[in-house]
Amino acid sequence: MGFANISKFMSLSSKHIANIDRTLKNIKSDIFANFVHANHRDLIITTNNVTSQLDLSTIMKYIKNIDTIESNNITTSHLS
């Protein structure tokens, strides 16, 4: 995701987590975001349960639509 993007996201992380939760609620998902962790290369969003592809897609769309994030370098990973 890149250090600049991670810094921009983390500076407003509580706002972004609330918005991700609202977005997931809008699609009637039982998933909600619990925590955001950043390291030098990745942004990790943990959820209360294993996410479906729709949930991941919804989270990714939200992140790509943040005005200050450069979206060409975003990928997802699904761990079960």
The count of domains in the chain is: 1
Is 49 part of a structural domain of the chain? yes
Tens digit of pLDDT at every position of the chain (80 positions): 677 777 878 888 889 899 999 999 999 999 999 988 888 778 888 999 988 999 989 988 888 888 666 656 555 565 54
Domain contains 47: yes
Residue-level pLDDT at 30? 93
CB 56 within 8 A of CB 27: no
CA pair distance 4, 21, nearest whole angstrom: 24
User: Is 30 contained in some domain?
Assistant: yes
The pLDDT of residue 31:
93
Which residues form the domain of 8? 3-73
Asked if residue 78 is part of any domain, the answer here is no
Question: Does residue 8 lie within any of the structural domains?
Answer: yes
φ, ψ of residue 45 to 5 degrees: the values are -110, 120
Residue 26 lies in a domain: yes
